[in-house]
Amino acid sequence: MKTRIKKIRLKRKFFWRRLILISLIIGSSILTYTLLSKRNQQEVFGQAQYPIQMPPNTLSYEALNKTSHSQTEAPVNSISFNAPSNFAGTVVYDVKLPKKEKYVALTFDDGPWPNTTDQILKILRQNHIKATFFMIGENVKAHPVQAKNVLADGHVIGNHTWHHWYMHMNPQLAASEIESTANIIYKTTGAKTTLFRPPGGILNNGLADYAKNQNHSVILWSADSEDYRIPSVATLIKRVMKVAPGGIVLMHDGGGNRSHTVTALPQIINKLRKQGYKFVTVPELLELQNKQQPSATAKN
């Protein structure tokens, strides 16, 4: 009898050990699958040159497709931001002006953004400067007040896609990214724009090709502050001061912590003014190019 009881106990003990082992194997498999899935997702969407910390209220791709080609009611007061016709369908880094013609265009990407956009607008307002803001559609939807403030202060708005993705896109996805952003900018501010800046300045992932086919002007830059890396204020200023007459400066009002940009901006303005520079929007800069006649730094 005792032997039988002992065998039963051993069988039970063996059963529980097997059950625990099986549970551990299943749990490990699930964890491995989850990690691999996450890694694969990162590989599909690509690693951004710098992280964009998107605010909430992100549209799903399905919802984006539903809204990308929808008709929106035209705002009462609408305005159009276009480059001169000879820049349609081209890529522009800067324009060539005589050294005595010291004009520069300040541009800000990845907004609109809470606090930072309004802080930059205040600095520009105090210095009587008009700039060009390349907006992410997702952020326009999340922060419409800041988008409206940019237009109300007389600045130019450009298209910077909906999601700020870097991956390669087929024509349908590229169209959705650009047209959805154009749609929300128009619906929110009343502004239409043919100024486009691809995220990261990437020209070979389908976005720039679609924009050029639509006769948009693809606007890049000649002086990069690299403020997305959050350098010291002194380093940020030094990078911007490398700009030459006819140059386009890249800074950011959105996408993350832009406190160094806000701190550096008044100093950048003062230093450039001491060197004789005047500030214009991107369309104004391109118009100056046409007056000078020499060809711009543009590529088809």
Residue with tokens 């105090």: 126
Q: How many CB atoms lie within 10 A of CB 21?
A: 10
Residue with structure tokens 């996805």?
A: 173
Could you say which of 163, 164, 216, 252 is catalytic?
252
Catalytic residue among 109, 110, 118, 227: 109
Determine the Cα–Cα distance for residues 76 and 71; give it in Å rounded to an integer: 15
Is the alpha carbon torsion for 259, 264, 266, 268 positive or negative?
negative
What does the longest C-alpha to C-alpha distance in the chain come to?
109
Cβ-based neighbours of 117, under 8 Å, separated by 6 or more: 108, 111, 133, 143, 146, 149, 150, 253, 254
CA–CA separation, 56 and 138 (whole Å)? 9
Give the C-alpha separation, 30 to 33, whole Å.
Answer: 5
Q: Is 252 a catalytic residue?
A: yes
Supply 191's token pair. Answer: 């502004």
* 110 included as an active-site residue: no
Kind plus residue range of the DSSP H or E element containing 101:
none
Task: Tell me the catalytic residues.
Answer: 109, 252
